[in-house]
Amino acid sequence: MLPLLTAEQIRRADTHTIQHEPISSINLMERASKAFVAWFINHFPERSASISIYCGTGNNGGDGLAVARLLGHHRYLNIKIVIARFGKNSTADFDINFERLIATGIPYTEIQANDDLPEEKSDILIDALLGSGLNKPLAGDYLRLVTYLNDLQKTVVAVDVPTGLYTEGDQPKDSVVLKADLAITFQQPKLSFLLPGSGGHVDHWQCVNIGLDERFIRSLDSPYQYIEEKDIRQMLKPRTRFSNKGTFGHALIIAGQPETMGAALLSASACAHAGAGLTTACIPESGLTALNTYQPEVMAIVRGVKVADINWEKFSSVAIGPGLGKEQDAKDLLDDLIANFKKPVVVDADALNLLADDPELLKKLPANSILTPHMKEFDRLFGEHQSWWARVRTAIVKATELKICIVLKNSYTVIVTPEGKAYFNSTSNAAMASGGMGDVLTGILSALLVQKYSPVEACIIGCFIHGKAGDELALPNRMSVVLPGKLIQQLPLTMGKLMG
């Protein structure tokens, strides 16, 4: 896991590294700038490209000056530097890099408060105006300059953080950010890159290691973590030779209405493909033929006008919700489940909406159960939120209070645990944005629970493999559509590769 730090924690990690490695702060800046340049060169190898580097007078600007000098060493010959001296202050490391730049003879322009803005003809802009030191929304000269640069619609590469973007917390409404095509960011992705809304200011980001003290970073015990493939490789247990269908548990998926049988089929099929020993679907009678045709491996319990009489004991885990509807029979089943089943359950879709209508029932969920809401379902459950940051904060409070896992679905799905940790999933892509993907995730989570992964492990592994299978399918397809049914077929392959 990669710990995700707040700006204040980054500053502490910085100070600690400087004191204990030890390394001087100017050399740490040089190391960061070299890491930036190494990645930049890979992406923009054309030495004759016209590049303008916009520098503030803090350490982000200091990085910008060092980057200019280093690009010069790498024979980028068409570089322009613009220093925005809007205030009186500059940092010591900015000043040192300014001296070093002058020594190279690379020309630069300075603009001051209220100056006319220089004409900009370069194709690529490097943004080193402000970074993680942002402490108020852009206003005055910064706002004027950033608005001007945004309007030019050039390719923008941000140093560490786009100017105007907070690294975490609520991005003030209507605040202006210098939109980046790419942010080359130091040590760890910034929390704001991972949330819809703020993340929209960064088309792509790439993290480069600048050698901050990892032991110290871990000691900060950040509640926010970024899931990496190596974590999944460590967690996934390979199947041993002397195992049988009983070893891998029996999952029950309560889903589907006559008009929404697809949701039940997708969930049940995903559950079987993600390795449940046995899968039973509790569906309306009219769906039987479809189930037997689409996935003959899945067994059925038929539910009709009266509540199905389910022997809950038989199942190692139960999922409820996909395509279930909100009629009385669905509510009765949910009541019956919560009254009689004491192991963690997976609650999705319509069952989440039923819980939203009955907060007392929500409180009775078995400990460590998993809720898988998308944004609207989340807000129905826990109230309207103005931002994703606020949603994540609420999820932490509610998961701890209710002793459950909340899988808050979005492009970087956030898994919040009963201990109050928030894990950001690192897989998935826009090609997966189609109806039925959530039903597949529910099936995968059930399959992992019955295979005796803990609920937190099931969420972490489940979200990762769901997204990873989607990535594997989307990549050769130029990120075109990935349908849920196709993704299900891919699951055993994806899981196998991660176990190997």
* Known binding-site residue numbers: 59-63, 127, 131-137, 142, 160, 163, 263, 323, 374, 409-413, 438-439
The item of K ion, ligand LZDS7PUF, none sharing an interface with residue 56, based on CB under 5 to 8 Å by kind, is: ligand LZDS7PUF
Q: How many angstroms separate the CA atoms of 35 and 130, rounded?
A: 18
Asked if 133 is part of the footprint of ligand LZDS7PUF (rule: CB under 6 A), the reply reads yes
Tokens of 385: 């939120």
Site membership for ligand LZDS7PUF, residue 207 (CB under 6 A): no
The stretch among 154-162, 189-197, 268-276, 314-322 that binds ligand LZDS7PUF (CB under 6 A) is: 154-162
> For K ion, which residue has the nearest CB?
127
Query: Which DSSP symbol is given to 432?
Result: G
| CA–CA gap between residue 492 and residue 61 (Å, rounded) | 48
Taking the least distance from each CB to K ion, the nearer of 182 and 291 is: 182
Considering only 67, 68, 138, 415, the residue that binds ligand LZDS7PUF (CB under 6 A) is: 138
Of 153-161, 290-298, 349-357, 437-445, the segment contacting ligand LZDS7PUF by CB under 6 A is: 153-161
Chain residues binding K ion by CB under 5 A are 60, 127, 131, 158-159, 163
What would the two tokens of residue 123 be?
A: 């194709």
Using DSSP's 3-state secondary structure scheme, residue 329 falls into helix
CA separation, residue 71 to residues 35, 40, 52 (Å) = 12, 9, 12
Give Cα 142 to chain centroid, integer Å: 30
CA distance 218 to 273: 36
How is residue 15 written in tokens? 């100070």
Largest CA distance in the chain: 85
Q: Which of 3, 35, 44, 56 binds ligand LZDS7PUF (CB under 6 A)?
A: 56
- According to DSSP, the residues that pair with 346 across neighbouring strands are 319, 370
The count of residues interacting with ligand LZDS7PUF (CB under 6 A) is 29
Residue 114, Ramachandran bin (φ over 0: left; ψ between -120 and 50: alpha; else beta): left
Does 490 participate in binding ligand LZDS7PUF (rule CB under 6 A)?
Answer: no
The span of 134-142, 261-269, 297-305, 316-324 binding ligand LZDS7PUF (CB under 6 A) equals: 134-142
Six token digits for residue 239:
């199947």
Please give the backbone phi and psi of residue 27, each rounded to the nearest 5 degrees, phi first: -75, -30
Phi, psi of 413, deg, nearest 5: -55, 135
What is the number of other CB atoms lying within 10 angstroms of the CB of residue 111?
17
Show the DSSP H helices in 225-299 as ranges.
Answer: 229-235, 261-273, 288-294
Per-residue binding string, ligand LZDS7PUF, 170-189, x by CB under 6 A, is ----------------xx--
User: Choosing among K ion, ligand LZDS7PUF, none, which partner's interface includes residue 127 (Cβ < 5 to 8 Å by kind)?
Assistant: K ion
Q: Specify the DSSP class assigned to residue 277.
A: S
Binding residues for K(+): 60, 127, 163
Task: Please report how close the Cβ of residue 52 comes to ligand LZDS7PUF at its closest, in angstroms.
Answer: 18
Of the pair 216, 294, the CB lying nearest ligand LZDS7PUF is at: 216
* Residues placed in the known binding site for AMP: 409-413, 438
Nearer to ligand LZDS7PUF by Cβ, of 61 and 418: the residue is: 61
Q: Which does residue 183 touch among K ion, ligand LZDS7PUF, none (CB within 5 to 8 A, set by kind)? A: none
Computed from CA positions of residues 220, 226, 230, 234, in that sequence, does the dihedral angle turn out positive or negative? Answer: positive
Residue with smaller CB distance to ligand LZDS7PUF, 4 or 415: 4
Task: Output 56 or 373, the one with its CB closest to ligand LZDS7PUF.
Answer: 56
Closest CB to K ion among residues 132, 269: 132
> Residue 315's closest CA among 406, 447, 457?
447
Hey, what are 490's tokens?
């891919």
The site for ligand LZDS7PUF (CB under 6 A) is made up of 10, 14, 28-29, 32, 56, 58-63, 89, 91, 130-136, 138, 142, 159-161, 186-187, 212
